[in-house]
């Protein structure tokens, strides 16, 4: 096993999130108040080379997957309250609160900041000013959408944009 494939140990303290089963579908909510910058989840699954419905893209051709339900039901939002942190490397992805969260608040992140080409595209109805509508992956975003999210993209998405978009200067 190479260094990048080593599993991340789970957080030692009780989980800050839980799955909530709502009439409109499952989601993930906080179990307590969480301050901006605090860790919500470690993506400590196995690495694979193809995207799936529940994978998180962590590098240009690397995805991480897990059977954990609290991971599967973190919904997308175009103006989310959490973000993916890959600063410790592709094998150490973490979900971080982007703002102060109340207990019981739904946790979301912008899938377009990590996913280049989604295995299962879907329609977003989040009503954010920059809502993209069809969520297919960062590769399909137009120039205005790229500009709206440019400070949030993961390093591998920035690299792919630099390589594939002549106009991209981010
Ligand atoms: Zn949206």
User: What separation in Å is there between the alpha carbon of 21 and the centre of ligand 1?
Assistant: 21
CB 103 within 8 A of CB 33: yes
CB 69 within 8 A of CB 34: no
Nearest to 57 by CA among 23, 84, 76: 84
Nearest to 159 by CA among 91, 54, 62: 62
User: What separation in Å is there between the alpha carbon of 49 and the centre of ligand 1?
Assistant: 27
CB 148 within 8 A of CB 126: no
> Using CA of residue 16, residue 118, residue 88, residue 84, what is the dihedral sign?
negative
- Please give the pLDDT value at position 166: 80
Q: Where are the domains of the chain?
A: 3-164
- Please give the pLDDT value at position 168: 75
DSSP 138: G
User: What separation in Å is there between the alpha carbon of 40 and the centre of ligand 1?
Assistant: 22
Residue 111, burial from CB neighbour count under 10 angstroms (0-12, 13-18, 19+): buried
- Please give the pLDDT value at position 82: 98
User: What separation in Å is there between the alpha carbon of 2 and the centre of ligand 1?
Assistant: 37
| Rounded Cα distance, 26 and 19, in Å | 7
- Please give the pLDDT value at position 5: 54
User: What separation in Å is there between the alpha carbon of 123 and the centre of ligand 1?
Assistant: 8
User: What separation in Å is there between the alpha carbon of 134 and the centre of ligand 1?
Assistant: 8
Query: If the chain, 170 residues long, is cut into consecutive pieces of 10 residues, what is the mean pLDDT of each piece?
Result: 52 79 93 96 91 94 86 94 94 94 97 97 94 97 92 95 83
Grouping H, G, I as helix, E, B as strand and the rest as coil, residue 134 is: strand
> Could you give the residue ranges of the DSSP H alpha helices within 10-134?
69-72
User: What separation in Å is there between the alpha carbon of 67 and the centre of ligand 1?
Assistant: 26
The backbone torsions φ and ψ at residue 123, rounded to the nearest 5 degrees and listed phi first, read -95, 130
User: What separation in Å is there between the alpha carbon of 12 and the centre of ligand 1?
Assistant: 33
User: What separation in Å is there between the alpha carbon of 89 and the centre of ligand 1?
Assistant: 28
In sequence order, which residues have a C-beta less than 8 Å from that of residue 160 and are 6 or more positions away? 60, 116, 138, 139
**Is the CATH number 2.170.270.10 carried by domain 3-164?**
yes
- Please give the pLDDT value at position 1: 46
User: What separation in Å is there between the alpha carbon of 79 and the centre of ligand 1?
Assistant: 7
- Please give the pLDDT value at position 47: 93
Angle at 6 between CA 99 and CA 84, to 5 degrees: 15
User: What separation in Å is there between the alpha carbon of 124 and the centre of ligand 1?
Assistant: 4
């Amino acid at each position: 096993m190479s260094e990048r494939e080593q599993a991340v140990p789970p957080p030692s303290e009780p989980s800050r999130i839980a799955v909530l089963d709502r009439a409109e579908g499952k989601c993930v909510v906080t179990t307590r108040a969480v301050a901006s910058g605090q860790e919500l989840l470690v993506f400590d699954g196995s690495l694979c080379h193809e995207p799936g419905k529940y994978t998180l893209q962590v590098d240009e051709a690397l995805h991480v997957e897990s059977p954990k339900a609290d991971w599967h039901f973190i919904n997308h939002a175009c103006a989310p309250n959490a973000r993916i942190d890959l600063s410790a490397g592709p094998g150490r992805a973490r979900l971080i609160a982007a703002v102060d969260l109340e207990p019981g608040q739904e946790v979301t992140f912008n899938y377009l900041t990590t996913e280049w080409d989604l295995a299962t595209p879907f329609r977003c109805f989040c009503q954010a000013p920059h809502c993209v509508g069809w969520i297919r992956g960062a590769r399909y975003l137009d120039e205005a959408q790229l500009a709206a999210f440019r400070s949030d993209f993961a390093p591998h998405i920035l690299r792919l944009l630099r390589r594939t978009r002549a106009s991209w200067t981010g």
